[in-house]
Amino acid sequence: MNKFYLTTAIDYVNGAPHIGHAYEKILTDIIARHFSQRCDDVYFLTGTDEHGIKIQKTAAEKGITPKELCDENAQKFKDAWKALDVDYTKFIRTTDEEHEKIVQKIFDKLLKQGDIYKHSYEGLYCAGCECFLNPKDLTEDGLCPDHLKKPEVVSEENYFFKLTKYKDAIIKHIKENPGFIVPEFRANEVLNQLEDIQDISVSRAKSNVQWGIDVLGDADQSIYVWIDALSNYITALGYDTENPSETFKKYWPANVQVIGKDILKFHSIYWPAFLMALDLPLPKQILAHGWITIDESKMSKSLGNVISPTSVLETFELESPDAFRYYMATSAPCGRDGNYSDDDFKEKVNAHLANSMGNLLNRTLSMLVKYFDGEVKPEFKDENPLAKKALGTVQIVKNHFDNFEISEAGLEIVQLVDTVNKYVQDNTPWTLAKEEKMTECGQVLINVLEIMCIISALIYPYCPNIAKEMARQLSFDLSIKLDDLTCDNIKTGKLISKDEIKPVFLRVDSELADKSSKK
């Protein structure tokens, strides 16, 4: 694997980020970190979508310019991702001058080659979806099924993209590439949508939407959201219709594009059609994740259950986002919906990260110090009965990530921790020490610590701070590639002293984990 390019959806900056935005970014960051353990060149793109009527209206209500609103909210997204240790390569904004220029050139190219044409149109427009809706897709009450609002009747002369021209090619691609849409059960949804697909509007009249990118040569039209927004995945790399950059040539096509299931249609139908029209290869895979509910209820401003990405860190006074990252990433099987609740969060991260993984490392190192003054003797390095299970888990985790089964991979790591805990209980090193079977005791402890090195590498994408602290206490090089992992990581000699041992994760309800008690 020479390179790995992955993207998230770009978030609409009409408001501040919420936990649903965070889920996607954490998921993508975990994928990026995992594949950085398998190849040397990972490029991770995220950003914000900053044009359209909703931003125009919200800015007017606030008495500020659309650009001022975009600047204010784009920074909120950047701050949130920093707090959650989302380590992207580039953050693109669709108000970036370079992006706007290339979008104009893309539009102009498609217009000149006949893929875009001008047409008078009347249709049902949903501002929430930023698209025209087919009457048959509405609810019985004539509402948008996603936003539960009545679309407005819009009559305009707009530019249209010949989506129908690419219909058969898209169907063929989906059928011939069963892994193109992940999870695969979503592919049938897309094929059903393709059955009566129509050409789509790709501009809006300036009289209705002023906040957008101008169409070259037509001052009365703004380029409509989907050519603008979707093109970010290539403009960020320096795509140009005449002279694409070396960065673009290196990284495109994307290995995976991570999106929410609600915008799958645009990414699996509109986006491939645009790319085909530009004579560019399609992304290798599109991962459509599910939604995150709050206490089993869909997030809604009216219900007052919208959670900001950092509020969980503040509520539980967490010094790092690792627990929240782990919880979100393991909250739902691939492509399915997940749920957040404070009680479940506390129970799950305490069980997996504190009681199981953190406690296993802490007590094993503590016994090494107690019985051997933290020293690893040559005779402790024996054949490890846990090696086969551990190295097998590495392969299973890799296989899960190849299918973007992030939750499943995380739970596999926890199963390995459980196996090692059972090994400790079965072999009772404290009893061996009491019986003065010191070599056997040392072998048990080192067998465990060897596997803890592997666990630190596997858990790193989910919990980078915890993994780094584990690796520090184990004197383990966390930069090792997964394919190079062995069960011979612990060096003979002094490993650790008593004052160097500290819990890698404190229970979220413990007195020690409460910052106020430390003041």
If you write DSSP's letter for every residue of 286-317 in order, what string do you get? EEEE--EEETTB---TTTT----TTHHHHHTT
Q: Are 85 and 33 in contact (CB under 8 A)?
A: no
What pLDDT sits at residue 294?
87
Question: Any residues with CB less than 8 A from the CB of 15 and at least 6 apart, and which?
Answer: 58, 73
Asked if residue 253 has a cis previous peptide bond (ω within 30° of 0), the answer is yes
- Angle among Cα 242, 237, 90 to the nearest 5 degrees reads 155
Tell me the backbone φ, ψ of residue 182, rounded to 5 degrees: -120, 130
| CA-closest candidate to residue 475, choices 453, 445, 497 | 453
- Angle among Cα 403, 406, 409 to the nearest 5 degrees reads 90
Question: Any residues with CB less than 8 A from the CB of 92 and at least 6 apart, and which?
Answer: 10, 45, 46, 47, 48, 99, 232, 235, 236
What pLDDT sits at residue 441?
98
- How far separated are the first and last CA of the chain, in Å rounded? 49
Q: Are 155 and 121 in contact (CB under 8 A)?
A: yes
DSSP 45: E
Buried b (16+ CB within 10 A) or exposed e, 338-372: bebeeeebbebbbebbbeebbbbbbbbbebbbebb
Task: Find residue 218's DSSP bridge partners.
Answer: 215
| Low-confidence stretches of the chain (pLDDT beneath 50) | 511-519
Rounded distance, CA 40 to CA 89, Å? Answer: 14
- Number of other residues whose CB lies within 10 A of the CB of residue 488: 11
Rounded distance, CA 422 to CA 417, Å? Answer: 9
Residue 96: exposure state from Cβ atoms within 10 A (0-12, 13-18, ≥19): middle
DSSP 120: E
Active site residues: 18, 21, 126, 129, 144, 147, 298, 301
- Tell me the angle at which helices 464-474 and 438-459 cross, rounded to the nearest 10 degrees: 150
Q: How many helices (H) and strands (E) does the chain have?
A: 20, 18
SS3 46: strand
Residue 498: exposure state from Cβ atoms within 10 A (0-12, 13-18, ≥19): exposed
Task: Find residue 181's DSSP bridge partners.
Answer: 286
Q: Are 501 and 359 in contact (CB under 8 A)?
A: no
Helix (H) or strand (E) holding 4: strand 4-8
Two tokens, residue 223: 């380029």
Rounded distance, CA 33 to CA 46, Å? Answer: 15
